Amino acid sequence: MERGIIEFEFEDMNESVGVIATWFGIPLDFFDDYRLVRTNTKGLHIVNADIQVENKPKAESIGLPFVHTNMAVWKLTQPASLFLGPHCTRNLIMLDRKQACDYLARKPVMLTDDNLHECDGPGYVMVRFGAMTLGLAFRHRDDPMELQSMVPKAWATADGVDPF
Amino acid sequence: MNAALDRYRDIVDDFQALTDALDRPLPTTGWVNTLKTDAETLFKGFEDAGVDYSRLNWKPDGFRLEGVDAKSPGRRIEFLLGHMQIQEEAAMLPMYFMEPAEGDRIVDLCAAPGNKTAQIAVALRNRGTVIANDRRVARMRAIRNTSDRLGLLNLVMTNCDAANFPTPTERYDRVLADVPCSCQGTSRKNPDALYETPADVLHALVRSQRAILERAFRICKPGGRVIYATCTYAPEENEAVIDDAIARLPFEPEWIPCRIDGVVSSPGLESWEGRQYSSGMHNAMRVWPHQNDTGGFFVAAWNKPERW
């Protein structure tokens, strides 16, 4: 190890991403080139395995916000959802244009039976429009045909806007 | 006639063309985030959606938007999902001379708002290490937003004074010093930028620019590369800063000829208002707004010698 380079205590990858990888059908070896770093109490960031961080100057932020851990069920961040989305094979919902616009505007998305092919049940799903991953959504147990958009406010479109 | 502009009359190839260009709005340009998609897919999407665009002739993943999408590119789905980044065409130029290698450790000393940092991180294919440093905390939020949207993993953000960047010497493979400047070259976007910089302000800027460039040379590894860039026309902030900084170095950096096929440019000045600059200055690149219908920009690049 070169002098001045911090040796991070990386999070255990299986423990941290195992459930997420299984739920979304992503092979665990996909994560071989990456590491997870805890930079604060709220969540983990994902970095490339060969990143080198010096002890000086102090790093204010590292890599991409990956998952919020300060909740009962860990939740992928929007940047992480966009990063992982193309590799998901399960719990994946294809939206039509109207649904996609609603999703991006953080409005409830009404699902059809055709939307539910690859879903295991209530919980997080990844949503796509065509070849584009749009992000994360949630299906509630008491209303599984309605999708709650998880698009952060700062990333959302204005109501009625069609960004396509 | 704007006095701030008139002083450059003798060093511009076509002064009338320059003033005409400054009266036109700045085109909206950007590049494809090849971490998330590829140029052909993005451009096919543009065509399917009826987006009026053209490709940049010097940069395969670069484009120029026209019409309604040029006015609000941030509303396009490709922007929201991080498949493209909007950046002024002239500001894309420094990256051309970076030539990063796999696993490189690169620092962008004055990184906000982070577009050039993002270019570097994407060029490294999310490998290696890119330090995005900026002195102003408030401006670092812009880097964070860009990084999150584009999906950059190899970014480390630091908040330090670039002129005193606290790292051991000879640490980085590439160093970008895109220094704070009087920003005269951005006047097509911000007309207030074209003013005569007060002497005390200019003096402080120049002192800071010189210190940052010197620091850039010192933290660069032997055989590594240093790039200096500004978005101003002022020779005091370009050629003079370089001349003074190089004179203080204990080694002679090797100039990189900064020319790009498809980009019209002028060489760096070898003299200005009676002062002679170092003989390598013609290798620097001056881009005037009328030459490529862009903003104004200045770039110079060097390799640090292997032994000194």
The Cα-based distances of A47 to A66, A126, B241 in angstroms read 9, 22, 37
Average pLDDT over residues A109-117: 87
Average pLDDT over residues A5-34: 83
In this prediction, residue A3 carries a pLDDT of 57
* Pairwise CA distance, residues A44 & A124, whole Å: 18
For chain A, percent of residues with pLDDT exceeding 90 = 67
User: Is the separation of the CB atoms in B268 and B300 below 8 Å?
Assistant: yes
What is the residue-averaged pLDDT of chain A?
Answer: 90
For chain A, percent of residues with pLDDT exceeding 70 = 95
User: Is the separation of the CB atoms in B246 and B76 below 8 Å?
Assistant: no
Instruction: Kindly give the confidence (pLDDT) of every residue in chain B, 308 residues in length, as a single tens digit, with 9 standing for 90 and above.
Output: 688 899 999 999 999 999 999 999 999 999 999 999 999 999 999 999 999 999 999 999 999 999 988 999 999 999 999 999 999 999 999 999 999 999 999 999 999 999 999 999 999 999 999 999 999 999 999 999 999 999 999 999 999 999 999 988 899 999 999 999 999 999 999 888 888 888 999 999 999 999 999 999 999 999 999 999 999 999 999 999 999 999 999 999 999 999 999 999 999 999 999 999 998 999 999 999 999 999 999 999 999 999 87
Residue ranges of B 28-57 with Cβ closer than 8 A to chain A: 36, 41, 49
In this prediction, residue A41 carries a pLDDT of 84
- Percentages of chain A per state (helix, strand, coil), in multiples of 5: 25, 30, 45
**Chain-centre distance for alpha carbon B78:** 23
| Number of CB atoms found within 10 A of residue B272's CB | 19
* Pairwise CA distance, residues A103 & A108, whole Å: 7
Do residue B77 and residue A164 have CB atoms under 8 angstroms apart? Answer: yes
**Chain-centre distance for alpha carbon B119:** 10
Which positions in chain B touch A157 (Cβ < 8 Å)?
75, 80
Helix (H, G, I), strand (E, B) or coil at B176: strand
Task: Report pLDDT digits (tens) over A133-159.
Answer: 999 999 999 998 999 999 999 999 998
Residue A7 has pLDDT above 60, yes or no: no
Which positions in chain B touch A63 (Cβ < 8 Å)?
152-156
Q: Residue B122: phi, psi to the nearest 5? A: -70, -40
Which positions in chain A touch B147 (Cβ < 8 Å)?
64
Selected residue of A46, A47, A64 to mutate for chain B interface (largest B Cβ count, 10 A):
A64
Q: Compare CB distances from B159 to A60, A78, A131 and report the shortest one's residue.
A: A60
* Pairwise CA distance, residues B139 & B229, whole Å: 19
- Predicted ipTM beyond 0.95: no
Do residue A82 and residue B81 have CB atoms under 8 angstroms apart? Answer: yes
Q: What is the pTM of this model?
A: 0.95
Query: How distant is the Cα of B147 from the closest Cα of chain A, in angstroms?
Result: 7
Q: Residue A138: phi, psi to the nearest 5? A: -135, 135
Pairing of strands B105-108, B129-133: parallel
In this prediction, residue A5 carries a pLDDT of 57
Q: Compare CB distances from B158 to A60, A82, A161 and report the shortest one's residue.
A: A60
* Pairwise CA distance, residues B140 & B127, whole Å: 21
Do residue B103 and residue A60 have CB atoms under 8 angstroms apart? Answer: no
Which positions in chain B touch A81 (Cβ < 8 Å)?
none
Which positions in chain A touch B171 (Cβ < 8 Å)?
4, 54
Do residue B147 and residue A64 have CB atoms under 8 angstroms apart? Answer: yes
* Pairwise CA distance, residues A43 & A110, whole Å: 30
In this prediction, residue A2 carries a pLDDT of 58
The Cα-based distances of B205 to B4, B154, B218 in angstroms read 16, 31, 20
